[in-house]
Structures are given as structure tokens and as C-alpha cells.
Amino acid sequence: MKFPIIAALLSAVVALSACQPTPQNQAIAGGVFGAAAGLVGAEMLDANPQWTAVAVLAGAAAGTLIAQNQATRECAYSDGRGGYYTRPC
């Protein structure tokens, strides 16, 4: 079960590495790299399958957000009143 997942992630990483760096490609690549990092972390901690799935999804979400922030060069900051504002990182 682990080998097909890892093989699929590695294939996606290789395929995405050939793409031109557009904001959409960066977000996709960030999601794939984040998912791979989540999978590796779950495997290192010997997590059960449910937690492995959670780690992969969380890694993909975090990787996508980081890639989007890198593309726009803007970060979201808390305004201290329950809202947020964006400005350059």
C-alpha cells in the first residue's frame, strides 16, 4: 500500500518539476511537496492509516498556502480584532 502512494507522489513531483513556474503551478507543486512531507512525517512516526491521511491532507494544504504566499509576496497578518490584513512579507 505504501509503495504505490510514494511512487505516485514521486511521479507527480517529477512531472511538476518540468512545468514553467506560474502561480497555479507553484500552488500545485506546493501541495504535492506538502503532501509528500506529510506522508514522510507520518511514516517516520509510524502513524496509523487515518493519521497518515490527515498528515498528507494537512501537508498539502500548508504547501499550497505557502506557495500562494510566495507567488504574491503577500502574507496575512492578524489585526488584533479578529480580522486580518495583507501586506508584503
Domain ranges of the chain: 2-88
- The residue with greater pLDDT, 28 or 55, is 55
Give 18's pLDDT tier (boundaries 50, 70, 90).
Answer: low
Q: What is the pLDDT, as a whole number, of residue 14?
A: 64
Report the share of the chain in percent with pLDDT over 90: 1
Dist. CA 8–CA 73, nearest whole Å:
30
User: Residue 80, by phi and psi: left (phi above 0), alpha (psi -120 to 50) or beta?
Assistant: left
Is the CB of residue 69 less than 8 Å from the CB of residue 84?
Answer: no
Q: Is the pLDDT of residue 71 over 70?
A: no
Mean pLDDT for the chain? Answer: 76
Q: What is the pLDDT, as a whole number, of residue 34?
A: 85
Element (H, E) at 78: strand 74-78
Query: Tell me: the pLDDT tens digits for 19-47?
Result: 556 666 677 778 888 888 888 888 888 88
